[in-house]
Amino acid sequence: MKIMIIGSSGSGKSTFARELGKITSYPILHLDKVFHKYPSEIAREKLREATRIFIFQNENVIIDGNYGSTLDERLPFADEVIWLKTPRLKTTFRVIKRSIKSRVFGKNRPDIAEEFKEKWDKEYLEFLKFVWTFPEKEFPQIEQKIKEFNVESKVIILKNRKDKEKYLANYGRKAKN
C-alpha cells in the first residue's frame, strides 16, 4: 500500500503520517526532511530522487508532504491519497506556533531536516502568505494533477480532527483483521 498525505503547511500532515505509521508500521518519507537538507538550487531534484528511491525500495509507504512540483513522482504509484483540507486560519496559526516553539526550544520538529534553521525574515513572511493563500492558489493545481493521473477515486479528504481520528480508527481496525 502506497499512501500519499498532502495538504497545506500546518494542516497536520506530518503528525498524521506518524500516527498512521504507528498503526501500519509502514516506513515514512517526510519530504520536508529531504527538501530542507539541501541548498535550494538542488533541493527539488534531490526530493524527486529520494521519492523515486523510497517508492521503489518499499512495498508499503507513507509519503508526507505536498511539494506540488513533485506530485508527478508520487501520484502514479498512490493506492491512497489523503488530502488534509484544514482551514487556513488553523494552518497559519499552527505554522506560527511551531515557529515560536522552534525558536524558544531551539530544536526542529522531527519531520524536518536538522540543517534547517527558520528565520523570521521576509522569506518567512512570504511563506506565511503562501500558507494563507494555499486554498486559492494550490488547490486547483492539486486537483488538476489528481485528474491528470486519474486518481480521483483514491482521494480521501479529511477536513478536521474528527475526520482524522475516524480514519485512523478505521485503519486500525483493518490492520488488526
- Find the CATH number of the domain harbouring 44: 3.40.50.300
Number of domains the chain is built from: 1
C-alpha atoms less than 13 angstroms from C-alpha of 177 in its C-beta half-sphere: 6
Above 80 in pLDDT, residue 118? Answer: no
The per-residue pLDDT for 16 is: 97
SS3 151: coil
- Who's near 103: CB < 8 A, 6+ residues apart? 118, 120
Cell 497559519 found at: 92
Of 135 and 120, the one with more pLDDT = 135
| CA 101 – CA 95 distance, rounded (Å) | 10
Above 60 in pLDDT, residue 114? Answer: yes
pLDDT tens sequence across 69-87 = 889 999 999 999 999 999 9
Residue 122: which domain range? 2-176
Which amino acid would we find at residue 20?
L
pTM of the model: 0.92
The number of angstroms, rounded, from the C-alpha of 93 to the middle of its chain's C-alpha atoms is: 17
